[in-house]
A = this chain, B = another copy of it.
Amino acid sequence: MVDDLGAAKALRRSGLHAWLKVDCGYHRAGVAPESAYALEVAKELGEERGVFFDGILSHSGHAYRTTNRDEAAEVAESERLVMVRFGQRLATVGIPVRGISVGSTPAMAAVRDLTGVTEARPGNYVFYDRTMVLIGACRPTDVGVTVLATVVSHQPGASHFIVDAGALALSKDPGPGHGDLPQAMGAVQRHPELTVATLSQEHGLIRAASPAELEGRFRVGERLEIVPNHSCLTVAHFDVYHVLRGGRVVERWPIARGR
């Protein structure tokens, strides 16, 4: 993945496959598709001097800033148009565009038209998470990953209790901060009356509206499932998935990681 002329030149005679990264509106990385520079980098790759030019690639990260599927569908369509038009621009100057790769989970969850697109890469799509629910990309029941947490402290008369899932389990991802979306560090499955209020390193603080709501409930040793704000960052903290079917663990899958 390349968006830099120097890097594109350095790929000559490497025998590697390369995608040209294009800024489709997120404005993080990628060449600006209308720019002269974009054409310059594309030409360098398209001449294929010892490199395979696989196509053009974008990431519509701005789809995370939407609050419903219609808005996300608009982002998806604008991403498609930017990419297909840029592909046409390259084709008219004789640069072959073999692939057009797009994607972000909110955009893919809402997309209506993929004409001209050859690949999509919605990473979070496999599990979804609390963020995806909040921005309308999926329903709560679509979320496929939770963290099993144990109550480790619950003082008499308190309106909160503590679980052993903190930032080292759930990550410190705050979830979406735009619109009027409710702020929390996760959601307790089947307990909408509870708020994952704060996470410190090893601890999660779960709050109720009043001590009365917790009286006799959520005793030390009890377990609950927490829906993470960001499933990717959460999963990266663990070594194994416990795969459930009908509430029972039926398989254990190792999580590939290593850095």
Contact = CB atoms under 8 A, between A and B. Distances in A.
Given A29-B203, A156-B37, A201-B232, A7 B221 contact: yes
Contacts of A153: 3-4, 21, 28-30
Contact of A28 (B200, B219, B233, B238): B200
Nearest to A201: B232
Task: Kindly report how many copies of this chain are found in the complex they form together.
Answer: 2
Interface stretch (A82-90, A170-178, A186-194): A170-178
A154 interface: yes
Contact of A236 (B4, B37, B61, B237): B237
Q: Give the size category of A's interface with B.
A: 35 or more
Interface of A: 3-4, 6-7, 10, 21, 23, 28-32, 37, 61, 123, 152-156, 162, 167-169, 171-174, 200-201, 203, 205, 219-221, 230, 232-233, 236-239, 258-259
A9 B76 CA distance: 58
